[in-house]
């Protein structure tokens, strides 16, 4: 059996790689590992996004947990950060989210949160994986009075929205027009409700999930329809969430797209101006745009760099006592509010900066200058995606690229943690040149490793 856990839980095509049998095993092993030091029955909350496979996987997962004597609280459709928060609010032992984030509906995933609302460290995931592969049948089975059961969790959505509002207690959005792309995903109820409660004129799109249309030409990875909607409706801002609601991309009032780097630049600048940028530090990944690092140098902000993946961003934030960090993809963590990326909190922080500086989003968008950056996603055999590091032909091409751009750009090539892809990213001043080089090397990788 291949390694189960990737950079964001267990992912795979539903009922092919991520089967009900595997979900059941994850429920048993996860409940045991996360609550084995308890002196009470495990208490676990479970949330999902809107994929058609959610019911199949949730039923199997909960069965596994109940077989360990767990009391399980199904929260139904709720953004991933909502589960991270409610674990803490309800004082539960663990939380689980059934979602494949920004992936297509055929895929799904299962990720765990501990009682503090943090994603699991590698050592805990390894322990769960070991039990599944080697010793699952030896785990105890609750019976009689100790059998697990389900309890309704009808307040999950409202409690999460109230929490979001509490992070910006003085924010009033009356007079603002906001477009929201809900990605037909987990935030399709929470997003519009939040902005409406704060007084905004909310114009939602892609907020009618049917089990199959999650992330389908919408959301943070397909922002074109939001750009058009924002311009046509003359909105003050457009916000695009992803399938599980933990990332955000923006469109300003002029139709310009803002990614995670630009969002962190605005929020970091705003917090520094107010004396609220903890430890004067932002944590970013090696994929962040060169312009982001130049902005930070100009503004006197320290940047801590880490590997791609919000879990690695969070680890470095905790290590360096930083409260703001994130990724270019739109995962932004405000650690004073939540323990994981939260697209709705990110949107609220941007709106707060707009309100309190009396600036439009397009005006705030001038804080950072974007350097041209091209990424080619080479589609490869998932079992071979690490081989680019050692293949002599590929390595020679990478070495040549790095030499070419060493004085006026940057080259970064990495395997995706969640997909069968190798990302070839080049930064430089000549967009046509970097596009040509990224495509050439990306297609070479595809030819050799697909």
For the annotated catalytic residues, the residue numbers are 101
Q: Rounded to the nearest 5°, which phi and psi values hold at 53?
A: -85, 0
Strands 71-77 and 43-48: parallel
Q: Nearest Cα to 371, choosing from 441, 426, 312, 317?
A: 426
Please name the residue that has the structure tokens 């795979």.
Answer: 12
For residues 108 and 444, give the distance between their C-alpha atoms in angstroms, rounded to a whole number. 30
Residues 6+ apart with CB under 8 A from 274: none
Contact predicate 68/28, CB 8 Å: yes
**In whole angstroms, what separates CA 111 from the centre of its chain?**
12
Contact predicate 441/397, CB 8 Å: yes
Q: Nearest Cα to 191, choosing from 228, 123, 246?
A: 246
Q: Nearest Cα to 338, choosing from 48, 51, 95, 38?
A: 95
Contact predicate 94/113, CB 8 Å: yes
Count of Cβ atoms closer than 10 Å to residue 343 Cβ = 31
Structure tokens at 309: 């993946």
Q: Nearest Cα to 183, choosing from 254, 111, 64, 102?
A: 102
Contact predicate 220/275, CB 8 Å: no
Structure tokens at 63: 């069965």
Structure tokens at 52: 């058609």
For residues 32 and 139, give the distance between their C-alpha atoms in angstroms, rounded to a whole number. 8
């Amino acid at each position: 059996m291949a390694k189960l856990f990737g950079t964001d839980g267990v992912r795979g095509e539903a009922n092919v790689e991520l089967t009900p049998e595997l979900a059941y095993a994850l429920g048993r092993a996860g409940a045991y590992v996360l609550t084995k030091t308890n002196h009470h029955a495990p208490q676990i909350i479970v949330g999902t996004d809107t994929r058609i496979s959610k019911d199949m996987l949730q039923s199997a997962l909960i069965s596994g947990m109940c077989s360990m004597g767990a009391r399980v609280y199904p929260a139904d459709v709720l953004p991933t950060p909502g589960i991270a928060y409610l674990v803490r609010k309800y004082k539960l032992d663990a939380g689980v989210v059934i979602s494949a984030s920004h992936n297509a509906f055929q895929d799904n995933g299962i990720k765990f949160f501990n009682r503090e609302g943090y994603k699991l460290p590698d050592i805990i995931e390894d322990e769960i994986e070991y039990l599944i592969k080697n010793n699952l049948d030896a785990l105890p089975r609750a019976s009689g009075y100790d059998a697990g059961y389900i309890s309704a969790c009808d307040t999950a959505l409202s409690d999460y929205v109230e929490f979001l509002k509490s992070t910006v207690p003085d924010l009033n959005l009356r007079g603002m027009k906001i477009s929201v792309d809900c990605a037909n995903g987990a935030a399709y109820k929470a997003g519009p409700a939040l902005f409406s409660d704060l007084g905004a004129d909310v114009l939602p799109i892609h907020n009618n999930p049917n089990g199959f249309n999650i992330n389908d030409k919408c959301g943070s990875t397909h922002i074109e329809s939001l750009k058009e909607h924002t311009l046509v409706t003359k909105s003050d801002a457009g916000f695009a969430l992803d399938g599980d609601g933990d990332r955000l991309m923006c469109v300003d009032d002029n139709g310009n797209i803002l990614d995670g780097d630009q969002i962190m630049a605005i929020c970091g600048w705003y917090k520094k101006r107010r004396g609220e940028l903890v430890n004067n530090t932002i944590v970013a990944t090696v994929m962040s745009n060169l312009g982001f690092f130049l902005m930070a140098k100009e503004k006197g902000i320290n940047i801590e760099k880490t590997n791609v993946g919000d879990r690695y961003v969070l680890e470095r934030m905790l290590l360096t006592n930083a409260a703001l960090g994130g990724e270019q993809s739109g995962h932004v963590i405000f650690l004073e509010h939540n323990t994981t990326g939260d697209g709705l909190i990110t949107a609220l922080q941007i709106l707060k900066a707009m309100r309190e500086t009396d600036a439009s989003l397009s005006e705030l968008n001038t804080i950072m200058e974007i350097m041209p950056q091209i990424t080619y996603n080479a589609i490869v055999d998932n079992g071979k995606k690490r081989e680019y590091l050692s293949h002599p032909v590929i390595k020679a091409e990478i070495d040549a690229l790095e030499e070419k751009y060493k004085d006026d750009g940057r080259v970064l090539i990495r395997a995706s943690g969640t997909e069968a892809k190798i990302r070839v990213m080049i930064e430089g001043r000549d967009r046509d040149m970097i596009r040509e080089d990224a495509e050439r090397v990306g297609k070479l990788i595809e030819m050799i490793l697909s």
